[in-house]
Amino acid sequence: MLLFIGVASGQNNDALSKDEVMSRAFEEAEKENKHIILIFHTNWCDYCNMYIDAFSTEESKIFFDRSYIITSLIPMGNENIKNEGAMSYFNNLLDNDNLGFPYTFILDSEGNKLEEYSGYPTSLERINSLISILNKFSTLEKEENELYLDYLAEYFMIMD
């Protein structure tokens, strides 16, 4: 089950806080024995939107449903869109000064950072880097990983 939470808690309500979003993700990851893909993004970034869309295509959905809990946080923007506490959390997870979106972290169910990936994959080298990270923490067999991650790589090559 793709768990994209964090954008808003209702039509006219303010966005959930970082703590609310992450609490749900950690609980789900613990329950399903999965890692978390946490994507920091903005609502005005076209690359962010294409990046998030890549994780929910029909071809890649099975891979992500079986391997990860996916959630997102919006650290910047209007008060009713951004997740309170998201920017501080982003800065705490960040190991460098590479402030840009989308930015992806792989976390375990306790919130420990396992891996990070910055930006949108715009070259074969960057696509392979992302695929390698996703493959590393997948729960699927090698052949299944290759099949689904090939679909994902094709998506990024077509969308670039």
In the chain the domains, ranked by start, together with CATH numbers, are: 18-159 (3.40.30.10)
* Mean confidence (pLDDT) of the chain: 89
Weakest mean pLDDT among 4-18, 65-79, 90-104, 111-125 = 4-18
The 10s digit of each residue's pLDDT in 51-103 is 999 998 888 888 999 999 999 999 998 888 999 999 999 999 998 877 789 99
Cα–Cα distance measured from residue 17 to residue 9, given in angstroms and rounded to the nearest whole number: 10
Are 52 and 6 in contact, with CB atoms under 8 Å apart?
A: no
Where is pLDDT greater, at 103 or 2? Answer: 103
Are 119 and 42 in contact, with CB atoms under 8 Å apart?
A: no
The answer to whether residue 6 scores a pLDDT higher than 80 is no
Burial class, 36, CB count within 10 angstroms (exposed 0-12 / middle 13-18 / buried 19+): buried
The answer to whether residue 8 scores a pLDDT higher than 60 is no
pLDDT band at 160 (very low <50, low <70, confident <90, very high): low
Neighbours of 53 (CB within 10 A): 12
Percent of the chain's residues with pLDDT above 70: 91
Q: Nearest 5°: phi and psi at 56? A: -125, 15
Rounded mean pLDDT of 5-26? 74
